[in-house]
Each structure stands twice: as C-alpha cells, then as structure tokens.
Amino acid sequence: MEFKIDTKLSYTLISPLADAINANLTEAISQKCTELTNTGSNNYIIDLQHCLNAEKESLSKLADLHETCYNNSQSLVFIGINEHILKLIKELELDYAINIVPTLIEALDIISMEILERDLFNEE
C-alpha cells in the first residue's frame, strides 16, 4: 500500500494513495500507525481524500483503530472524507465513535486540545 507521510512535531499526516477503503487499506493504516508509534509519533491525521468508496466492514476497522489509539493516549483524526463515505459512516453510527473533520486546521485543533487534556489529567 502506498502512502504519503508528512511528519511534524506534534502529529503525523498519513495520506493513503488508494481509491477505496477496504480491508487491505485499513490493515496497512494500522501497521503504519504501529510503525510510527515505534519511532515516537503519537498523533495521527489520516487524509482520505483519494478514497472514493468504502466497505462497511473496513469503516468499522477504522473505528477499532481509533479506539486503540485512544487507549494508548494517542490522537487519531480523519479528514478529507467524501459525502458518500460520510453517509456510510453515519449509517453505521461511527460518526460518534471517531474524530472526523473537513480540514487539516480543524484536525490540528482537535489534536492540540487532546494533548492539553492528556497533560492535565496526567498532572492530577
């Protein structure tokens, strides 16, 4: 699976160069997040702008990845999701389980707030 990776100080932007969200893509994204975690990255933005279609099962796998990240004190935000895929996500009621925003700026806001929140909870 081919990805465009852009690593910044507080997050890593992962852009899959695939036209569909399927089992292969979700597995590759999970593996990429694991690899990046091992190199010190903890917050991920997944840009799905190239994906035009999705399998419902694979969308559930993305929700599982989201939960795994949060259980490991990491952030995961999805951007660039088209209307068709967003409709599928809402049908599965996954829009309440994962972070989805339209733009990179909004994703950065979520990550920044979650980093602050984790820092505050760890101080107590």
> Is 30 a residue whose pLDDT tops 70?
yes
Query: In this predicted model, which residue has the larger pLDDT, 116 or 123?
Result: 116
Angle, vertex CA 2, rays to CA 23 and CA 42, nearest 5: 80
> Is the pTM here over 0.85, yes or no?
yes
pLDDT digits (tens, 9 = 90+) for 20-29: 999 999 999 9
78: domain CATH number is 3.30.750.24
Q: Domain count of the chain?
A: 1
Structure tokens at 112: 């920044």
Q: How far is the C-alpha of 12 from the C-alpha of 76, rounded, in Å?
A: 10
Structure tokens at 86: 């967003």
| DSSP structure class, residue 25 | H
pLDDT digits (tens, 9 = 90+) for 32-43: 999 999 999 999
What residue numbers bound the domain in which 41 lies?
Answer: 3-123
Arithmetic mean of pLDDT over the chain: 94
Q: Confidence band (pLDDT; 50, 70, 90) for 124?
A: low
CB under 8 Å to 32, separation ≥6 — which residues?
Answer: 3, 5, 14
